[in-house]
Amino acid sequence: MSEVVIRSDTASSGSPGLLASLDPLLREWLPRQRWFAGKGRPVTGFSLVAATELLPPTGNLGLYHLLVRAHQPLTLGAPPHPGDCYQLLIGVREALPPRLAPALIGHLDQGPLAGHTVYEALYDPRPAELLLEALRTQARIGDLRFERDTGQEIRDGLVPRLMTAEQSNSSIVYGDTFILKLLRRIVPGTNPDLELPLALAREGCPRVPAPTAWLGAELAGEPYVLGVLQPFVQGASDGWELALRELAKGEDFGAEARSLGRATAEVHTALARALPTVTLGHAQLQLLVDGMIERLEAAVQAVPGLRPYAPGLHSSFTALADLAAEGRTWTAQRIHGDLHLGQCLRSPAGQWSLIDFEGEPSKPLPERRMPQPTARDIAGMLRSFDYAAHCADPTVTGWAEACRAAYCSGYAEVSGADPRTDPVLLRAYETDKAIYEVVYEARHRPDWLPVPMAAIERYVTSDLI
């Protein structure tokens, strides 16, 4: 790796002018990014949260780290919101080489960088090398803090490459040794994407790659997690892609589903050891059920096709409240929070790992960090099997049901409790998840709407299992 020179000062005096000059370019570029959360609403302006100059724009390459708040009109009935904050790495060159053409943001003709071209720096190996070197040396650069587990070695000379299939964040792989996940939508507070893997590493849980290093900042007294470096599982198969491949070949996925159930239970039991658990009684369960009913009512307004099923869906939630009223209690703990096949990796040796503990990015951070019944994670995986089954052509009869049974059996082998023995709780969470899916598909992928709608119909016409 070529020598990386890091500036350790924060770009302050030029930052407002820089943002003002970037404004028209970012208004066009930002909404096109996969990780931009405010699609469908125009960007009306930006405000600067923090700016750090990592490389001065005096040579062939300049580099800025920006935290920028994007302002957009509120949707009808939405509560006041200051706008989402995004992490940007802006590269600066006089001219962009052809290899970086996909990274182009635009050309500046005013402001402190007038005459330069700006671009998404993660496409460029040199800025990616700089980030790894800063993590390796535990650098302090302006407001940025690069931390690492000193018990794990970070070698230099690892060749970086940007992964292009990322959705809500961006990831760089370094020489098939590490993967750096940079969070895009930034919120203050303890992020579970770092908190939970660190807790699992302390418990010695092998199902989650232990964080090697992480990038953060402290702004106005609030901590921010900006990125996490973890070991890269070389040759691993994404659970979703693996399931679809097996379906296409007509192969049974039961053994993999069972192993995945065991891995999920290992993570849950380790989290229960590492972090506090709570008991949910009548009052707590009623709040949980009220939230499910509220989401159902909002979904019926958004997707009128749900209306005929609303009474039956409502009864799935009230049945859970009735059990709580009778004195039934449940244990809540820290969970993954957004578990599905795409959040799982299978190594070439056949070991499953769980990744991406950020939770649902659309949820407030305190809500994502709340203890919850493990049934929520399990329901997410069961819905994922259902989605995979609907991708098969021709349809493989009974595939999702077989995966469901195998996954729950594998879970029980480790946890000692089969999720199917608490059918009211599991059905409530599956129903809640399917309702969310209906709204999402209606808004973003109408062709997929029949998948959750078929589940909705099944839930209101079939007995609990």
Q: How many CB atoms lie within 10 A of CB 462?
A: 9
Along the chain (465 residues), what's the average pLDDT of each consecutive run of 10 residues?
A: 36 67 96 90 93 90 96 77 92 95 95 94 96 96 94 92 84 96 95 97 95 95 96 93 93 96 98 97 96 97 96 96 96 97 95 94 90 98 96 87 97 97 97 96 93 95 70
| pLDDT recorded at residue 119 | 98
Bridge partners (DSSP) of residue 106 are 118
Cα distance between residue 118 and residue 319, in whole Å: 56
Across the strands, what pairs with 53?
Answer: 64
pLDDT at 8: 36
Q: What is the pLDDT of residue 9?
A: 39
Measure CA 346 to chain center.
18
Long-range contacts, stretch 98-107, CB < 8 angstroms, 24+ apart: 100/124, 105/22, 105/25, 105/26, 105/29, 106/24, 106/25, 106/28, 106/29
- What pLDDT does 4 receive? 35
Residue with tokens 């929070």: 337
Beta strands in 320-382 (DSSP E): 330-332, 344-346, 352-354
pLDDT of residue 276: 97
Instruction: Say what the pLDDT of residue 230 is.
Output: 97
* DSSP per-residue string spanning 397-462: TTHHHHHHHHHHHHHHHHHS--GGGSHHHHHHHHHHHHHHHHHHHHHH-GGGTHHHHHHHHHHHHS
Q: What pLDDT was estimated at residue 78?
A: 67
- The pLDDT assigned to 166 comes to 61
